[in-house]
Structure 1
Amino acid sequence: NRGPAAVGWAIVSSDGVVAEGGEEIGHRTNNQAEYEALLRALRAARDLGLDEIDVRGDSQLVVKQLRGEWNTNDPELKELRVTARELLREFDRWDVEHVPREINERADDLANEALDDR
């Protein structure tokens, strides 16, 4: 179901947070919002000139779809997945891993702050 949505993302290195963002994105499904957060993080990583990236996301659906383990019939999710894969190909090396929500707490906080600010 679509509802008010926001995204949060963070790029973290061994030195700490390199970049982060959060913003309201209108009405989306939860899965669409998860993909939108990923796309923003990938674009930021690319713009920072990073060559390698390890994506850690708490959406099992997004992680498994990116890995090709799950498919989707939803045309909007298909389009988001194609865009994400195109962005990932711009990196010399990338990996996608599912992590518990507690590990992604900063990204969730940024999304919640963006929703609270509207």
Structure 2
Amino acid sequence: GWAIVTGDGIVADGGETIGRTTNNRAEYEALVRALEAARDYGLDEVDVRGDSQLIVKQVRGEWNANDPDLKEYRIRVRQLLDGFERWSLEHVPREINERADELANEALDDA
């Protein structure tokens, strides 16, 4: 799941089922959808907080993406991030990422 939070609160969120996939692909898909929503909302800057250390480190270039699908996701995420005037990406514990985790669990329950 994902959520866009501004100083005014949550402006958009989502958590959709995407079929059978790996947790890493699901994390990347949620990140892509969140960044597309932030772009469509007209935000110039994004501070991304994700609970997947693998995704955060791959996108920041600290770890390689060996899986071909994850490489494609990484490229797509970097393209989206480059569309913002400023962006940051940091790893946070799942407990701090509560809303996104709730949405992901709701989507799994609906599957």
What TM-score comes out, normalization by structure 2 length?
A: 0.97
Aligned counterpart, 2:67: 74
Q: RMSD over aligned Cα, in angstroms? A: 0.7
* Partner Cα separation in structure 2 for residue 100 and residue 73 of structure 1: 24
Q: Deviations over 1:41-97 (max 9, x none)?
A: 000000000000000000000000111100021101000000000000110000001
Q: Output the amino acid matched with 2:3.
A: A
Counting matched residue pairs gives: 111
What does 1:17-28 align with in structure 2 at a 5 Å threshold?
Answer: 17-28=10-21
Q: Which runs of 4+ in 1 moved over 2 A?
A: none
Q: Structure 2 unaligned runs (5+)?
A: none
Distance 2:18 2:109 in 1: 13
**1:110 and 2:103 aligned:** yes
1:51 maps onto 2:51 in alignment: no
- Compute the displacement of 1:13 (Å): 1.1
Aligned residue identity for 1:94: W
When normalised by structure 1's length, the TM-score is 0.92
Unaligned runs of 5+ in 1: 1-7
CA distance in 2, matches of 1:72, 1:109: 27
Identity of aligned residues (%): 75
